[in-house]
Amino acid sequence: MGKVILKNAIQRQPGHLYYIDAKGNVCEAKMARGGKKKKKVAKKPVKKKAVKKKR
């Protein structure tokens, strides 16, 4: 597990990944996906068809 050295050293942006490289520099990379929250889509009610039973 990593160790927190300094809190709030940089301002983070959504959709970016932050890491420390081999030289000890803080690097920022754009994530391939994520960062934006998805909007909730309202579910449409499905109409059920009337089924006739055979006797």
pLDDT digit string (tens) for 11-55?
A: 888 888 888 888 888 888 888 875 567 778 777 777 777 777 777
Closest CA to 16 of 40, 41, 36: 36
Residue 29 half-sphere exposure, CB side, CA atoms within 13 Å? Answer: 9
Q: What is the pTM of this model?
A: 0.46
Quick one: pLDDT at residue 34? 56
What are the residue ranges spanned by the domains of the chain? 1-55
Quick one: pLDDT at residue 39? 77
